[in-house]
Structures are given as C-alpha cells and as structure tokens.
C-alpha cells in the first residue's frame, strides 16, 4: 500500500513509529503536514495540491491531527475522503471526539456512563449547577482542551463563580463536571484499534496533582483491563465511529466513567508502559480496513453491473 501520514513533524515519536511499522510490513509511507496542502473545490472532482503538485494516489491516510490545527486538518481529511481515499480515522469521527460536550452527548444517548456534566452560559443558576454535579469540588473543562491543559478543579462556590466569570469573559466554551474523588488522581487509558482493546495502562498523577495525563507529569503502568472497562471503551469508540482511539476512563465506585475519546492518541506513553507494539496493530488494522473497502467496492460494482444488465434485458 501507499500510505500518507498527516503529521506536523516526521520526528514525533508516534509518527516515527507508524512509519517504521508500515515499512516493516512492506508499505510505502510519506509524511506530510496537513497545513502544507492546498485544497481546490470546484464542480466535478475535488483536487488537492502539495508543494505545488498533485500528490500521488494514496491507498490510505492516517491523520494525526493535533488540537492546534483541528479545523484545517479536518478540512484536509474531508477532502481526501471526498476523493475516495480511506482515512483511519475519518473527519466526522475526529470532529465528534474533539468536542468534549458533543462526545458526552453522543455517549449518554447510548447509555454509556460519564461523569455528570453541565454546560451553561450564565452564572445566574450557579447553585442549581453545583447541585446537579453533586456539590464542590467540581471540575471545570474547556470543551476543546487536551493533554490536561484546560482541566481545572474548583474547591468552593466562590472559586467556581470567579473561574466561570473569567473563562466566559475570555470567550471560552466550558463544561462543569462532577468530581470523581474515588479515582484518586488515576485514570485508565485503553487503546482501541478496530473495535478491540490492544493495550491499556493506568495513569497516576504526580503528587499534588489531580490530572493523570503523562504530559502533566503522570506515570503510566500496564494494566490487565477488567472486561467491563474494555467493553465500555470499545462501545464508546463505536459511538464516535473511530477505528483508532485512546479512551480515558475513571474508575468510579459504580464502574467505568468515560472522560474522553482521543482520535490521535499518542503512542509513546502506551508503548513504553506496556511494551506492546501498538503501531504495528494500527498498520495491520489499516491493511484489513483498506481490503474490506476494496471488497465492498468491487461487490457494489458487481451489483451495479447486474442492475444495468437487467435494465438492458
């Protein structure tokens, strides 16, 4: 196959690992920054240009779209999809998971458990908000945050009030969430590929911190995932429509509570903590995904040919 990885830099750990894994399985791989593409929309065929030229015909795109380039990155992925190139993950699925509120709304529709989350735009009913999420302390989150940045804890009503005032004043979209104290600064990251958990780690926050993100100094250790947690992670990924995802879950007294589903999950932490070759699992899944689409297409073509033959007869 000829694979294109959309990534800001070829030297990032995750990108390097995917390139090596793809080459090891005999594929040709290019890495390109989504921001370098020109997209041309016109009647008929959509066109795309990279450094002044039409790029080669790729069999598969692996988008690694960071939060900083979400909007343009998604436009590029969508363009490739319009041109009929399979993308692992697709643009709609990435967009769904990137917005924490949208993701939660979709999850609860499918009866998947999440921390109670309130979205508001006025402080007028602050007491109702606090009551809904079970009182202080509460978690306040930017809807589009990542790597722990934009996740805050507010211990008192006064703190919540001034935090909301500040964030709304800055034009930020936020949600307020029930604080799951029994998680004790730990969470579980399940790496799901093609509807299966291929690796999982428990992350523990450093002392004095409640966020367990590795980017915030947390430490990851391999865990054998309880089947209830594995099922929740797979179900959440399915709802989003993601082929590859990192699902963050809190271990609450009543079982898994899904925090978020990352559509470009980092490989470094999970591979180092678990010693599992996650990059290889992604490439293997990519092969099956492309093959399945090819079969479906040729199946569709046969059905279409039969229809045409019947019309003529």
Ligand X SMILES: Nc1ncnc2c1ncn2[C@@H]1O[C@H](COP(=O)(O)OP(=O)(O)O)[C@@H](O)[C@H]1O
Q: Which residues contact 295 (CB under 8 A, 6 or more apart)?
A: none
**Positions in 86-115 near ligand X (CB under 6 A):** 115
Q: Looking at the chain, how many residues does it have?
A: 313
Which one of 28-36, 173-181, 231-239, 294-302 is the stretch in contact with ligand X (CB under 6 A)? 173-181
Bond prior to 247 in cis (omega within 30° of 0): no
Task: Tell me how far apart the alpha carbons of residues 169 and 288 are, in angstroms, rounded to a whole number.
Answer: 48
* Secondary structure letter of residue 8 according to DSSP: S
Q: Which residues contact 234 (CB under 8 A, 6 or more apart)?
A: 192, 195, 196, 197
Considering beta carbons, is residue 211 or 285 the nearer one to ligand X? 211
Residue nearest to Mg ion (CB): 248
Q: How far is the CB of 144 from ligand X (least distance, A)?
A: 9
Which among Mg ion, ligand X, none contacts residue 145 (Cβ within 5 to 8 A by kind)? ligand X
Q: Which residues contact 126 (CB under 8 A, 6 or more apart)?
A: 157, 160, 161, 164
DSSP SS3 for 155: coil
**Of 7, 89, 146, 264, which lies in the binding site for ligand X, with binding defined by CB under 6 A?**
146
**Of 248, 251, 271, 277, which lies in the binding site for Mg ion, with binding defined by CB under 5 A?**
248
Q: Does 137 bind ligand X (CB under 6 A)?
A: no
Looking at the DSSP bridge assignments, the partners of residue 6 are: 32, 63
Which among Mg ion, ligand X, none contacts residue 251 (Cβ within 5 to 8 A by kind)? none
Considering beta carbons, is residue 190 or 276 the nearer one to Mg ion? 190
| Closest to 31 (Cα-Cα) out of 47, 48, 19 | 19
Which among ligand X, Mg ion, none contacts residue 74 (Cβ within 5 to 8 A by kind)? none
Q: Does 139 bind ligand X (CB under 6 A)?
A: yes
Tell me phi and psi for residue 94, to 5 degrees.
-65, -45
Burial class (CB in 10 A: 0-12, 13-18, 19+), 46: middle
**Positions in 209-228 near ligand X (CB under 6 A):** 210-213
Q: Does 80 bind ligand X (CB under 6 A)?
A: no
Which among Mg ion, ligand X, none contacts residue 147 (Cβ within 5 to 8 A by kind)? ligand X
Token pair 């909007």 in the structure block, residue = 71
Considering beta carbons, is residue 151 or 197 the nearer one to ligand X? 151
Task: Tell me how far apart the alpha carbons of residues 235 and 38 are, in angstroms, rounded to a whole number.
Answer: 36
DSSP SS3 for 223: coil
Considering beta carbons, is residue 79 or 100 the nearer one to ligand X? 100
**Of 3, 118, 174, 187, which lies in the binding site for ligand X, with binding defined by CB under 6 A?**
187
Q: Does 177 bind ligand X (CB under 6 A)?
A: yes
**Positions in 247-286 near ligand X (CB under 6 A):** 248, 250, 259-260
Using CB under 6 A, list all residues that contact ligand X: 115, 139, 141, 145-148, 150-151, 177-180, 183, 187, 210-213, 248, 250, 259-260
Using CB under 5 A, list all residues that contact Mg ion: 248
């Amino acid at each position: 196959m000829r694979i294109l990885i959309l990534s800001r830099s070829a030297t990032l750990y995750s990108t390097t690992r995917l390139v090596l894994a793809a080459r090891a399985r005999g594929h040709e791989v290019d890495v390109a920054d989504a921001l370098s593409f020109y997209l041309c929309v016109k009647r008929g065929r959509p066109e795309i240009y990279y450094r002044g030229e039409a790029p080669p015909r790729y069999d598969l795109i692996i988008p690694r779209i960071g939060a900083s380039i979400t909007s343009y990155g998604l436009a590029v992925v969508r363009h490739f999809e319009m041109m009929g190139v399979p993308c692992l993950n697709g643009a709609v699925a990435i967009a769904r998971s990137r917005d924490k509120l949208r993701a939660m709304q979709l999850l609860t529709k499918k009866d998947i458990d999440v921390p109670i989350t309130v979205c508001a735009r006025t402080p007028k009913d602050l007491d109702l908000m606090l009551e809904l999420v079970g009182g202080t302390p509460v978690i306040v989150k930017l809807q589009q945050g990542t790597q722990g940045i934009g996740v805050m804890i507010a211990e008192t009503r006064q703190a919540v009030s001034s935090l909301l005032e500040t964030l709304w004043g800055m034009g930020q979209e936020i949600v307020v969430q029930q604080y799951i104290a029994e998680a004790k600064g730990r969470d579980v990251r399940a790496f799901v590929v093609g509807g299966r958990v291929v690796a999982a780690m428990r992350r523990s926050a450093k002392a004095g911190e409640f966020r367990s993100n590795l980017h915030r100094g947390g430490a990851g250790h391999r865990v054998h995932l309880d089947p209830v947690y594995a099922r929740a992670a797979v179900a959440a990924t399915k709802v989003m429509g993601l082929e590859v995802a990192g699902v963050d879950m809190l271990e609450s007294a009543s079982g898994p509570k899904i925090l978020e589903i990352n559509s470009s999950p980092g490989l470094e932490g999970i591979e180092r903590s678990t010693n599992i070759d996650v990059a290889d699992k992604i490439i293997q899944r990519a092969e099956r995904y492309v093959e399945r689409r090819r079969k479906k297409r040729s199946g569709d073509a046969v059905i279409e040919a039969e229809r045409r033959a019947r019309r003529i007869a």
